[in-house]
Structures are given as structure tokens and as C-alpha cells.
Amino acid sequence: MTRIEREGGTIRGEDWYGDDLADSRLLGVTFVDVDLSEVTTAGAHVEDCTFRSCRFNSSTHVASAFVSCTFEGTNLFDTTWEGCKLTGSSFSRCTMRPMTVRGGQWLGVSLRGADLNRLDLSGLDLRETDLTAARLTDVVLRDARLDHATVRQADLGSADLRGASLVGVDLDQASLSSTRIDLAAAVLLAELRGTVVDVGGDA
């Protein structure tokens, strides 16, 4: 295990392949072209860090926090995130499929334009997340928390939203072709379109 504590500075072009970074603490560090493939970060706390053109391929993150981090042009192919906190982080031009996500809090994460097709994000806390123009075809969001998320121009075709919390979500701004929703979401969508829904069926 390589426990690291570091604040500030830039790490460029290094090979951290397969390192066990359990319980590491990183604050305000910029990583450029660093190979983080197959690293593990159980219990790590990473905050205000930038990962630019890095490789996280097949890495595993358990009960770790990546708070207010920036991922730019980074490869996250086959990563596993289990019970992780990514609050306030942003992803741009990143490879994010395939990916395994088991619970956790991705509150306020920016995933604008991200390709998340076919991912299973069941039960994930995605409140206030920016999914503008994200590709979410066939994504599973069952029982996820999407309250106040932005889905403008997002493609939710054939996505599974059953059981998801959608308070404050304007579903009318997304593409919903063949999207699976439950009664609560159907009522919300109908109301957004100006329909008066009478679920009681009174004459």
C-alpha cells in the first residue's frame, strides 16, 4: 500500500499503475498524463484535484471521496465506483463506458455531453447533476435520486427511470423515446405538458 498525503503541485507523466492508494489524502493536486490504471483508492480523500489526459482504466474506488475534482480528457474505461462521493466534480471529454457504479453520492456533478449509454446507475444520488446533452440511451436509473437535475437535450431513449425521484426535473426538455417510467413520473410529465391528471378517476 502506498499512502500518499500531498497538497498542491503538479504530477506529470508518472506511472502509478496498480498502486494501492488506500487512505491517501490529496488536495489541490494537478495530474497530467498520469497512468492510474488499476489503482485502488479505498477510503481515499481527493479534493480540488485536476486529472488531465490521465488513465484510470480498470481502477477500483471504494468508499472514496473525489470532491470538486475536474476530469478532462481522461479515460475511465472499466472503472468501479462503490459507495463513493463525487460531489461537485466535473467530467469533460472523458471515456466513461463501461463503468460499474454501486451506490454513492454524485451530488451536483457535471456530466454535460457525457456518453453514459447502457450504464447501470441504479440507486445513485444524482441530485442537482448537470446532464445537459448527455447520452443516456438504455441507462438504468431505477430508484436513483435525480431531484433538480438538469436534463436539457439529454437523450433518455429506452432508459429505465422507474422508482427514480424526479422532483424539480423538467423531463419535457429531454428526449424520452421508449423511456420506462412509473406512474409518478408519468403524472409529472403530463403536468409539465399542461395536462390535468385525475388519478382518482372521479366522475
* pLDDT tens for each residue of 19-34: 999 999 999 999 999 9
Q: Would you kindly state where each structural domain of the chain is located, as residue ranges?
A: 1-105
For the segment 119-157, what is each residue's pLDDT rounded down to a tens digit? Answer: 999 999 999 999 999 999 999 999 999 999 999 999 999
Domain formed by 1-105, architecture: 3 Solenoid (2.160)
Alpha helices in the chain (DSSP H): 183-192
The fraction of the chain above a pLDDT of 90, given in percent, is 83
Q: Averaged over 37-42, what is the pLDDT?
A: 97
Q: Which of 51-65, 81-95, 165-179 has the lowest mean pLDDT?
A: 165-179
Least trusted range by pLDDT, from 45-49, 75-79, 91-95, 184-188: 184-188
Side-chain half-sphere exposure of 18, counting CA atoms within 13 A:
0
**What are the start-end ranges of the E strands in 98-187?**
99-105
The Cα–Cα gap between 110 and 140 comes to 19
Task: Give me the DSSP letters along 34-77.
Answer: -B-TT-B-TT-EEES-EEES-B-TT-EEES-EEET-EEES-B-T
Q: Does the predicted TM-score (pTM) go above 0.75?
A: yes
Choose among 110, 33, 19, 136: nearest CA to 75.
33
